[in-house]
Chain A
């Protein structure tokens, strides 16, 4: 009896051990290493804030921070709204809706790297399909990825094309969980589509919205691939997001402390935003 009790006592820890180890090695470990590297300098013994001081006096860093915030301020609401609308569309009960669901989800099945390469070809200023199409209407060629005015929007487009498909599935799962009886009752009471949407659907999907918001924020702040492949941070730093700046610091400049500082700052920004989002949306619900 005693043995069974001990076994039962240890079993949960044993079961979570592999996950804990993996999280520690691949998540917490690198975070600890980054924090440690960010407060060390080859010129100063022990703990120092000189790397941060240097970073904060760097115009490139502030530009990257602004680009990152700007991109996310546009991209996160855009992706959430579009994904939600897409989920509403594919939740409709019509014949063959599963085909549409599949089509809408396909962009997510294409890796971000490949989708960026495809979009880069489509948006190419010389022989891209988009410019060729615009040419039919006598519209001058647009440097979607090479013009400062359009580059960030193009990166947002590339990310959202794929991202919306992914987040749509969460909203769809949420919609499926809503009791259809509520809609029927609302209809009988004379509620229109928008009343049902704002009074039933959205309030009941509050937790789904919260999850998507937090997960989307985290994913988009750490976005890197479309910038590296599509624009390399240009033109004139207009797409030089913090993650790409951290990458350049580590792998082009071999400056690990600078890279670690940026990563730590990103972590803090994401953490703060997620806390605010949780507070704002969690409530009693």
Chain B
């Protein structure tokens, strides 16, 4: 009898547990299509207006949550505060930010959105994840929130990158371009003058590396001061590192987005990775710092050259004089200059219960006054055509902005387009880091191909 009662009790508890576990599932429907249920009301919600009619301000007194990256006063959290305050002043909608470190943001989005959480209304979306989030049903289609005229205000590349299979899922906050920055104060101290160069006659990576070493030898002969010669702000991230093989004619991924074999085990990749590894071995580029750490070294005046985005100037912490020029090319590949591009977008959670207010915020930050404020504060390359034109025509525009406008139009190389960008970047970021740490380049490449193939096979299962 006792045993029977005990079994009964445990049975009830287990059933309750299974029920509780079921309640916490990720909202996948029997067909396995996550989020499609969420999209229906969202589509019904779309104002009932004809396509393109923007919603009216409706959010007085509302609070929406924006999931983004860059915690801290000198990062996005602090930099965007005046924009959010102004937005609230104008619309009455309060925007609460939830900031995570860059590399954590993707996992947070994955966790929250896959679980169907509705507490986040707007989220920052890296351009490379738009396809994935779109197909997964995480993001609300934005076509009904932006008119065709409004869409035409962005440059075509920026707008198109937010569209997946004919649906606009994300609105561009800005785009990005690469610039070779140098610490002029350090170069002057080392007695080095940069050779004349321009867009048609760029410095080569080999020349820059030699100059960087020369500067290190002059400024820090025993390497006790930790002066770094040349580095990449987004070290060990495909966003910026892939521009090295791209600059030798290498592609990022196969055309179908599912293969690395035959793409990265080719001469451009092997040569580019070997060149970079030698740069680290020679002590010109750093080891042991992550992307944030590398950038900090330059901002603190402890690096001579850095390939960086146009936000660099606004982040400088030392009083050293800053110079900039066009991103380098490789010797013998002068006609194949490639620079990284693309940036952050805004998406609306398909489960959000405040989509109108969220859309209003997205529009304010991508096309309205918020966009102007952001471009001024952060110094990013605009996606808006009017702002791009203003840079070109403004004789007083910062030199890096002029360079960026040129690179964006002429040398920008699109990132890998694949619904498996999470897998792609995880595998290749690790590969770049392994190369940096001295692993055999061929071994790293083969391992990366295997890992990506496994990931693709698993995703297709």
A binding-site residues for B, Cβ under 8 Å: 9, 13, 17, 20-21, 24-25, 28-30, 32-33, 41-43, 50-51, 54, 58-61, 124-128, 143, 146-148, 232-237, 248-249, 251-258
Flag if A125 contacts B287 (CB, 8 Å). yes
Among B7-21, those with CB < 8 Å from A are 9-10, 13-14, 16-18, 20-21
What 1/0 mask marks residues of chain B from 412 to 434 whose CB sits below 8 Å from any chain A CB? 00000000101100100010011
What 1/0 mask marks residues of chain B from 421 to 461 whose CB sits below 8 Å from any chain A CB? 01100100010011011110001100100110011011101
Kindly list chain A residues whose C-beta atoms are within 8 Å of the C-beta of B322.
none
Flag if A21 contacts B437 (CB, 8 Å). no
CA distance A124 to B297 in the complex (A): 15
Flag if B5 contacts A236 (CB, 8 Å). no
Flag if B451 contacts A253 (CB, 8 Å). no
With both beta carbons as reference points, the residue of chain A lying nearest to B228 in the complex is identified as A126
29 cross-chain CB contacts under 8 A: A20-B9, A24-B17, A25-B20, A28-B17, A29-B17, A29-B18, A29-B20, A41-B461, A51-B461, A60-B451, A60-B454, A124-B288, A125-B287, A126-B287, A126-B288, A146-B433, A147-B437, A148-B437, A232-B430, A235-B434, A251-B110, A251-B111, A252-B107, A252-B426, A253-B426, A253-B458, A254-B136, A255-B458, A257-B461
Flag if A54 contacts B457 (CB, 8 Å). yes
Q: A20-B13, A60-B454, A253-B423 are in contact. List 20 more A-B contacts (CB 8 A).
A: A9-B2, A13-B6, A13-B9, A25-B17, A28-B14, A29-B17, A29-B18, A29-B21, A58-B454, A58-B458, A61-B454, A146-B287, A147-B437, A234-B430, A234-B437, A236-B434, A252-B107, A253-B422, A253-B459, A255-B455
Nearest CB on B from A122, distance (A): 12
CA distance A33 to B443 in the complex (A): 37
Choice from B288, B422, B461 contacting A125 with Cβ under 8 Å: B288
Nearest CB on B from A279, distance (A): 27
Choice from A9, A28, A147, A255 contacting B438 with Cβ under 8 Å: A147
Is B286's CB within 8 Å of the partner chain A?
yes
Choice from A17, A43, A146 contacting B288 with Cβ under 8 Å: A146
CA distance A259 to B114 in the complex (A): 15
The answer to whether residues A252 and B106 also contact, given A32-B18, A143-B437 and a CB cut-off of 8 A, is yes
The answer to whether residues A30 and B21 also contact, given A13-B9, A252-B107, A252-B423 and a CB cut-off of 8 A, is yes
With both beta carbons as reference points, the residue of chain B lying nearest to A144 in the complex is identified as B288
Is B191's CB within 8 Å of the partner chain A?
no
Dominant secondary structure at the B interface? helix
CA distance A25 to B14 in the complex (A): 8
Flag if A42 contacts B32 (CB, 8 Å). yes
The answer to whether residues A24 and B458 also contact, given A125-B287, A252-B423 and a CB cut-off of 8 A, is no
Choice from B14, B433, B454 contacting A234 with Cβ under 8 Å: B433
CA distance A143 to B287 in the complex (A): 9
With both beta carbons as reference points, the residue of chain B lying nearest to A58 in the complex is identified as B454
With both beta carbons as reference points, the residue of chain B lying nearest to A258 in the complex is identified as B458
What 1/0 mask marks residues of chain B from 26 to 69 whose CB sits below 8 Å from any chain A CB? 10000010000000000000000000000000000000000000
CA distance A249 to B420 in the complex (A): 12
B binding-site residues for A, Cβ under 8 Å: 2, 5-6, 9-10, 13-14, 16-18, 20-21, 26, 32, 106-107, 110-111, 114, 136, 226, 286-289, 420, 422-423, 426, 430, 433-434, 436-439, 443-444, 447, 450-451, 454-455, 457-459, 461
CA distance A234 to B443 in the complex (A): 14
Nearest CB on A from B421, distance (A): 11
With both beta carbons as reference points, the residue of chain B lying nearest to A53 in the complex is identified as B461
Kindly list chain A residues whose C-beta atoms are within 8 Å of the C-beta of B444.
236
* Central interface residue in A17, A33, A254, A255, by most chain B CB within 10 Å: A254
Flag if B434 contacts A234 (CB, 8 Å). yes
Nearest CB on B from A169, distance (A): 33
Nearest CB on B from A63, distance (A): 9
CA distance A236 to B444 in the complex (A): 7
Kindly list chain A residues whose C-beta atoms are within 8 Å of the C-beta of B114.
254
Nearest CB on B from A16, distance (A): 9
Kindly list chain B residues whose C-beta atoms are within 8 Å of the C-beta of A127.
226
CA distance A28 to B32 in the complex (A): 25
Nearest CB on B from A139, distance (A): 15
CA distance A17 to B13 in the complex (A): 9
Closest 3 CB pairs of A and B: A42-B32, A125-B288, A24-B17
Nearest CB on B from A117, distance (A): 12
With both beta carbons as reference points, the residue of chain B lying nearest to A21 in the complex is identified as B13
Nearest CB on B from A44, distance (A): 9
CA distance A178 to B226 in the complex (A): 56
CA distance A13 to B439 in the complex (A): 59
Flag if B439 contacts A148 (CB, 8 Å). yes
Flag if A235 contacts B226 (CB, 8 Å). no
The answer to whether residues A54 and B9 also contact, given A30-B21, A143-B287, A254-B110 and a CB cut-off of 8 A, is no
With both beta carbons as reference points, the residue of chain B lying nearest to A256 in the complex is identified as B26
Kindly list chain A residues whose C-beta atoms are within 8 Å of the C-beta of B2.
9
CA distance A39 to B106 in the complex (A): 27
Nearest CB on B from A19, distance (A): 10
With both beta carbons as reference points, the residue of chain A lying nearest to B297 in the complex is identified as A126
With both beta carbons as reference points, the residue of chain A lying nearest to B6 in the complex is identified as A13
Kindly list chain B residues whose C-beta atoms are within 8 Å of the C-beta of A258.
458
Nearest CB on B from A6, distance (A): 11
CA distance A254 to B449 in the complex (A): 19
Kindly list chain B residues whose C-beta atoms are within 8 Å of the C-beta of A59.
450, 454
